[in-house]
Amino acid sequence: MNKLQEDVEDYLRYSQIERGLSDNTIFAYRQDLMDFLAFLKKEGLDSWPTKAVDIDAFLAEQRDLNKATSSISRMISSLRKFYQWLVRQNIQKINPMLEIDSPKKEHRLPVALSVDEVTKLLDQPDVTKKLGIRDRALLETLYATGIRVSELINLKFSDLHEELKLLKVLGKGSKERLIPISDVAISWIKSYQEKVRDPLLLKSGKNTDTIFLNNRGGALTRQAVWQIIKRYCQMAGIKKNVTPHTLRHTFATHLLENGADLRVVQEILGHSDISTTQIYTNLSQQHILQVYAKTHPRT
């Protein structure tokens, strides 16, 4: 083992023992630093580079290998922390990472369903069967409110204010918010409560206020909701990569496409920063351009 490899192993031991970092984090650090070591060996360098240009050459090679922007960002973070340690240990006097900027994050637009796709999805559950009624109620609630899956699976009947058509949601950071819920979603929840949920509870012998339950009378998990949505998307012939969060994206996009105020959508979604909500305006603008292209006679 050469001196550079020894430095890496010392740093990883320090990160694991002194800083208490997880095995996954240590594995990621090791992978990034070993890639860096391989580059140095190939370039004939036997000491840690002190010039930013050498670091940039390594990062450029990683980009040429079609590494994702997120992977490059992680490598920069790994090298930044490693060089800080080298300086503290007096192994290095110069830290070239001070001159290296992280790449700008890729702003990928979230996937959203069209109105027709939503209609097809909502029509998939077989409502002549008990779990079909539950699944229809679940899908209607997600699309009607834009709530997160973690919020959905923790909903209580005491959170539903039927007369006011409002739903109390406990979001991130234990922040409560009141959001509108449609008559359609409420009617499906009531149908589920009357025809399905109570018999499930009687069968399980449990007593709970949680709205959505599995077929044994226990609370649904995030994974179960994900599987339910995937199954119905396949049945509906929807080719997009749909997750529970897709219905949240779809909810926000459809509101904005139909003229909702951005601040209102921010409040409903529970975003603390409006910049998080603004990504949906890009989807809305795309919709406007598509409509324009289809309808203007001179395009």
Give the DSSP H or E segment for 285: helix 279-295
CA-CA distance, 199 to 65, in Å (whole number)? Answer: 57
DSSP 272: S
User: Which helix (DSSP H) or strand (DSSP E) does residue 66 occupy?
Assistant: none
Instruction: Respond yes or no: is residue 271 known to be catalytic.
Output: yes
The residues near 126 (Cβ < 8 Å, ≥ 6 apart) are 132
Considering the candidates 80, 177, 245, 287, report the single residue annotated as catalytic: 245
Of the candidates 136, 197, 248, 254, the residue annotated as catalytic is: 248
- Which structure tokens are listed for 6? 């020894």
Catalytic residue, chosen from 136, 148, 197, 249, is: 148
Q: Find the length of the chain.
A: 299
Is residue 172 annotated as a catalytic residue, yes or no? Answer: yes
Active-site residue identified among 19, 172, 190, 222: 172
Spatial separation of the C-alpha atoms in residues 131 and 137, rounded to whole Å: 10
107 belongs to the catalytic site? no
First to last CA, the chain: 66
| Active-site pick, 30, 120, 271, 287 | 271
Q: Give the Cα separation of 281 and 217 in Å (integer).
A: 40
Is 30 designated active site? no
**Residue 287 annotated in active site:** no
Question: How far is C-alpha 138 from the geometric centre of its chain's CA atoms?
Answer: 19
CA distance 280 to 250: 9
Q: How far apart are CA 51 and CA 232, in angstroms?
A: 55
**What is the set of active-site residues?**
148, 172, 245, 248, 271, 280
